[in-house]
Chains A and B, each alone.
Chain A
Amino acid sequence: MTTLPVPGTSTDVRPRKISRKSTGADAVFIHTIRTVGTVVLVITGGVGLFLGWQAYPTAQNYGLGFFTESRWLPEADVVGIASVLTGTFCVATVAMVIAFPLALLTALYISEYAPAFLKNTLVSLVDLMAAVPSIIWGLWGFFLIMPHAAELAMWLDRNLGWLPFFDVHDADPNAAVVDTVISQYSFSMFCAGIAVAMMVLPMSCAVMRQVFSQTPEGEKEAALALGATKWGMVRTVVLPFGRGGIIGGTMLGLGRALGETIAVLLILSPSFEVKGRILEIGGNTVSALIAGRFGDADDTQLSALLAAGFVLFLVTLAVNTLAAVIVNRSRSGAGTDA
């Protein structure tokens, strides 16, 4: 016989106690993994704090002059990053001016124009391009591109020399004998910027392509169904939808361009002059300065180099954070069900 429980007879009804606390192996797991997280936090945060801490004595020694002094003379104890900061921004600007249109066009081609059977291969190729070491791009820029880039620079100076940033001092672009003048146009920030552009291009392109590929199919088809041409569809649907990705990808590329070392070190002949004349020989960037001057630095100058690195890190961090905010705030991902 089955007895049914009679409701109300049991006087002692208490809800089962539920604990979210981990026990046994789980507790060990959580603690271990938390420790790993802490170790990584200490390492990565430690690097940042160390850099900031090293910047302090530099601020004491050189004061604000650190940002306005353009020379780097360890013997005379005169160091400053005015020229290298300008150089860093010039090289990065040149790189982005070249890389942005190419990355945008490539991303559009892969996501909208490429035949379907090529698409995956092209995506892999762009990723491969991102994995090509920077020293390879340095060699490519130095030996293959620089002779042509110098000629182009000369042509630009001849025809657009009235623009301040295309001007080159001490060189006559109309000279009859090219060989003696051409060296004034080589080893310039323009040449370095081309090599850096090839490095940052795949990164920007990947971000842009990813955002373009999230464009709602329904909206694209709606545009086509209303009679838009392919370009009309791209202009009115894909580009507005991907605006956040375009800006964010460009800024991520900019963040990488600011920190590039080895290609710049190979191509640019170092000089410490605050200038925006990108076609002219000479210039310097923060990372190339560190790579070139760490060997002969004493303790004070080493911390000055670290401070320069810290400034570079802060600039890169600001650019990257802005990029992340822009990408996240864009419409990307919203409305994909439509």
Chain B
Amino acid sequence: MTLAPETGVAAAGTTHLPGYDDDAPPAIPRPALGKPTADERFVRYGTVAAGFALAWLITQRLLPLAGLPWLLVVWFVCVLAVTGVTAGLSGGPVDIRDRIAATTITAGAAVVGAGLVSAIVFVALRGWRPMTHLNFFTDDMAGVGPKDAFTQGGVLHGVVGSLIEVGIAVAVTLPLGIGTAVFMSEVGGRYARVVRTVVEAMTALPSIVAGLFIYTVLIVALGYPRSGLAAGLAIGVMMLPIIARASDVVLRVVPSGLREASLALGASRWKTVWHVVLPTARPGLATACILGVARGVGETSPVLLTSGNAQFLVTNPTDGVMNSLPLFIYSLVRSGEPTAIARAFAAATVLLAIVLVLFVLARLLARPKRTKRTKVSRRLTGGTNRRGLNLRRGDPLAAMGPVNPADELAQRYPPAPTEEIP
């Protein structure tokens, strides 16, 4: 503590806290030491710009390397070169290596980001035309040929088929998967270890083999027709190990202290599971399931073998052939007609949108629950961040001296009657 006692006044045996000078000017904010200075920022962005200019000069004027891909490749090489030169101007080989590594790593991440963005934008750009017609969302493809205009036909049967098939798969796998996860993590024992080993091994099952299994057993051996039910089961066989394993991982990170506290209070085991373990793990379980569903919706190969390819709306999964979005896209692309391919891209946009919605839903559910805190309680805890970490306590400055005396916070409690509490 850097406490300078008030000179001479203090009697022996008493402690004096340093007083605050209310007239003092406000503290100057500390300079951010890690932040790049203006010079460094100039070099950083200037390097990229200079690299682009050089690349343009080389590819468009000096060498016969027309085309966007070459420009990008040469741009990257030029940026690396300019980075090396600028780093060499002010530092040694260590600085050069550091800057070049940073540039390479950033460029690698940018390539991956560009891949994701280009896929989404490309699919949406090629497929927006059919989507301007309302019948695309309300109609099926019954009696519509591959060359017909966009004013006829739609993807309704694909969307409905996908939802029904995934619904069947989820209805089968969700209870089984989570039940198995509970068994593996809550009951335990040698038998549970066997189950865990087998389930983990089966996550390696390629989706096409899951489809082939259902095809062989259900359709060839048992003579059941190709249908939405078969497709749903095929997706289920593929999803079951994935969901069981993901749920197991989620359940295993539930703190054992919670379980033990519940048992110590006299709760039975199933009550512990039902009221403590599962509610604690609920966001994680929801995420695991929704990501499993997103995977199931987009998977083409098991459906390709088992559902048949209906061109009309089928709502009964046991009633003959059905269709689903991925399969619909695949068969349209295979037909090779430009209009059919445009339709395929539009259907792909719809599929992407469904996956995106599911994904955002999973993210929202996985977010840690915010405890409702009033202004007063926030003041009492001295300003905490979302995870309940006490920022004031974590701040090294707070440890050095009473920057923000806790008394001041407590003095405002209870709040004045005029103060509004949300």
Contacts and interface: CB of A to CB of B under 8 A. Distances in A.
A68 B307 CA distance: 33
A137 B269 contact: no
Determine chain B's interface SS by DSSP, over half rule.
Answer: helix
Contacts of B235: none
Interface in B389-413: none
A141 to B, nearest CB: 9
B98 A128 contact: no
Determine chain A's interface SS by DSSP, over half rule.
Answer: helix
Contacts of B120: 132
B94 interface: yes
Contacts of A129: 112, 115-116
Interface string A252-294: 0001001101100110000000000000000000010011001
Classify chain B's interface size. Answer: 35 or more
Contacts of B206: 258-259, 261, 287, 309, 312-313, 316
A128 B298 contact: no
Nearest to B303: A262
B198 A45 contact: yes
Interface string B195-228: 1001111111111111011011100100000000
A91 to B, nearest CB: 13
B105 A109 contact: yes
B209 A51 contact: yes
Contacts of B202: 44-45, 47-48
Contacts of A198: 115, 119
B297 A287 contact: no
A290 B306 CA distance: 13
B47 interface: no
Contact of B205 (A26, A47, A54, A124): A47
B56 interface: no
A36 B178 CA distance: 9
Contact of B329 (A22, A25, A131, A135): A135
A37 B348 contact: no
Interface stretch (A59-67, A98-106, A159-167, A171-179): A98-106
B246 interface: no
A56 to B, nearest CB: 14
A108 interface: yes
Interface stretch (A27-35, A69-77, A214-222, A241-249): A27-35
A198, A229, A324 — most chain B CB neighbours (10 Å)? A229
Contacts of A232: 94, 98
A40 B240 contact: yes
Contacts of B298: 131-136
A201 B114 CA distance: 13
A37 B212 contact: no
A289 B269 CA distance: 49
A142, A151, A317 — most chain B CB neighbours (10 Å)? A317
B182 interface: yes
Interface string B93-137: 011011001101111110111011011101100100000000000
Interface in B159-213: 175-177, 179-180, 182-184, 186-187, 191-192, 194-195, 198-210, 212-213
Nearest to B95: A229
A41 interface: yes
B345 A139 contact: yes
Contacts of A106: 108-109, 112
A125 B113 contact: yes
Given A135-B348, A144-B118, A230-B98, 16 more contacts: A33-B187, A45-B198, A105-B105, A106-B108, A106-B109, A106-B112, A124-B363, A128-B356, A133-B297, A133-B355, A140-B122, A234-B101, A259-B209, A266-B333, A302-B220, A309-B206
8 contacts: A102-B111, A124-B363, A128-B359, A258-B206, A259-B208, A291-B208, A313-B209, A324-B200
